[in-house]
Amino acid sequence: MIKQYKTENDLEKDLKRLSLEKQIAWEELKAIKGDFKEAVQPPNWLQTGYKMFTKFGMMMLFKKIIK
């Protein structure tokens, strides 16, 4: 559906609003990209791996103690 404008001011206002929405969406996308880059950093992977290894090691230790 095509929107029809009555005045040039209405058209300009709508274009300005759309431009601002585009800028907001772009900034949100950049923030998400930054969050993703931070989450994929090697220290985060190492920390997660260390936590998993520690939990697994503790479970194996408890199994040996119980037997």
Structure confidence at residue 27 (pLDDT): 94
Residue 46 has pLDDT above 80, yes or no: no
Structure tokens of 34?
């930054």
Structure confidence at residue 14 (pLDDT): 95
Determine, yes or no, domain membership for 45.
yes
Determine, yes or no, domain membership for 17.
yes
Structure tokens of 25?
């969406």
| Gyration radius from the chain CA atoms | 27
Structure tokens of 31?
């923030």
Residue 12: give the domain boundaries.
Answer: 8-66
Determine, yes or no, domain membership for 13.
yes
Arithmetic mean of pLDDT, 45-62: 80
Determine, yes or no, domain membership for 3.
no
Structure confidence at residue 45 (pLDDT): 67
Determine, yes or no, domain membership for 2.
no
**Tens-digit pLDDT profile for residues 17-31:** 999 999 999 999 999
* CB atoms closer than 10 angstroms to residue 45: 11
Distance, in Å, from the CA atom of 53 to the CA atom of 61, rounded to the nearest integer, reads 12
Q: Give the count of domains, the chain.
A: 1
